[in-house]
Structure 1
Amino acid sequence: MNLAEGVQIVSFGILAVMLIGTALGVVLFENIVHSAFLLGGVFVSIAGLYLLLNGDFVAAAQLLVYVGAVNVLILFAIMLVNKRQAFAPFPTAWVRKALTGVVSLGLFALLSTMVLATPWSLSTDIPPSNTIVLIGQHFFTDFLLPFELASILLLIAMVGAIILARREYLPEQTISSEQQQVLTLPERPRELVSIGESSRNIQ
């Protein structure tokens, strides 16, 4: 995006504050539905940062894949579970919180070191006007083999999910007819039910 320097700085500040605030909300909120919605805000903020870096295709993919697919899938999974009971606190919960804090501080120190050690030199090259065409050219020339391998892996994962969803083909899930008859309750004949209802109406 060819914006003025002041507009870029203000936009970056707004997106950075939005990203940090929603990320903290995802971690700190106790309601998992609110955390899932704030996770969508994190993805939208990252897409905005991609737009500032002239990555329009990556920003669109971020919105379509993460916000439109992954975040919606997480929300559907939370709503289908429908856990209404409150989470019981563990007696050793402080150990998990301490380990989480140590790992988070370690990642923060590592990322801070990387940011400070990387030479962020400004490039004088003009960014390409159409990044989608450039990405497509690289996909089908330089990175054709990894692109096709990723497609095959996604196809294998989809076929495996379909096979796992078909429970009748799993041997441990098969139930014989005798067991099915034992598990099901005998139904009352419709004639007896109608006679009983008519006798109640007469009384």
Structure 2
Amino acid sequence: MNLAEGVQIVSLGVLAVMMLGSALGVVLLKNIVYSAFLLGGVFISIAGLYLLLNADFVAFAQVLIYVGAVNVLILFAIMLVNKREDFKVVPRMWIRQVATALVCFGIFALLGTMVVTTPWAISTETAVGDSSIVRIGLHFFSDFLLPFELASILLLMALVGAIVLARREFLPETELEAGETESLTLPERPRDLITTGRGDSTIQ
């Protein structure tokens, strides 16, 4: 083993520990803002793994799209939603937590078994010039065009939902119509009143 292989192995171990630790923090932390920041750590770790695989274009796309766009969009959605009250305690919450842990462990075991049993054909050849970018572009707009467009539509829906939740106007208390339940209404926060200096007139 030479110095380059040793550096790659150490880098792989550091990135793997960072990715797994950040992923566990995303799931286990109760503060959703911290979870969103740790999600950015997961994305950065994956970009580092792409660099170790000589996939520089995919690594930069990972940072630009997921860290610079998706993760920032999630943070804006979390911070702009005016949550008024904390979540209520769900009875027998430990049952759901145990079920979630079992499902996650099963998925992890399935993926680990697939990784160990699959005969990977690892190529040591480095892509010359822009051939890797050209191949990715051809696959994006031929074989994987439908998933690519569905992912863009999903992100657009998330953006529209965040804007709708963030720009809710204050509605006065009104009587509920027939068939409407209180659980379907969203709690609103009144906007501050700004005085204009012209008598008692105010601007909302």
TM-score (norm 1): 0.67
The secondary structure found in structure 2 opposite 1:126 is coil
Letter in 1 for 2:100: T
2:133 alignment partner in structure 1:
135
Within 5 Å, give how 1:60-79 maps onto structure 2. 60-79=60-79
Asked if 1:96 is matched to 2:93, the reply is no
Q: Kindly tell me: are residues 71 and 161 of structure 1, through their superposed partners in 2, closer, same or farther at Cα, counting changes over 3 Å?
A: closer
Which has the larger displacement, 35-44 or 94-103?
94-103
Equivalent pairs counted in the alignment come to 164
Matched with 2:45 is 45
Name the CA shift for 1:138/1:53 in 2 (closer, same or farther; >3 Å): closer
Deviation of 1:126 after TM superposition, in Å, equals: 1.8
1:145 aligns with 2:149: no
In 1, are the aligned partners of 2:140 and 2:148 still within 8 Å (CA)? no
Q: Which residue of 2 aligns with 1:108?
A: 108
Alpha-carbon contact 1:139-1:147 (below 8 Å) kept: no
Larger radius of gyration: 1
Q: What secondary structure, in the 3-state scheme, does the structure 2 residue paired with 1:145 have? A: coil
Which segments of 5 or more consecutive residues in structure 2 lack a partner in the other structure? 165-197
2:161 and 2:87 map into 1 onto residues whose CA distance is 30
Q: CA deviation at 1:109?
A: 1.3
1:57 aligns with 2:57: yes
Deviations 1:38-91 (A, max 9, x none): 000000000000000001111011101110111001000000113253222100
Percent identity, aligned pairs only, is 58
Q: CA shift at 1:19, angstroms?
A: 0.6
**TM-score, structure 2 as length reference:** 0.67
RMSD of aligned alpha carbons: 3.4
Higher relative contact order (CA 8 A, sep 6+): 2
In the other structure, the counterpart of 1:80 is 80
| 2:27 counterpart of 1:27 | yes
Tell me which amino acid in the other structure corresponds to 1:129. Answer: V
User: CA 1:25/1:117 → structure 2, altered by over 3 Å: closer, same or farther?
Assistant: same
Please, which runs of 5 or more residues in structure 1 have no aligned partner?
Answer: 168-192, 197-203
Amino acid at match of 2:78: I
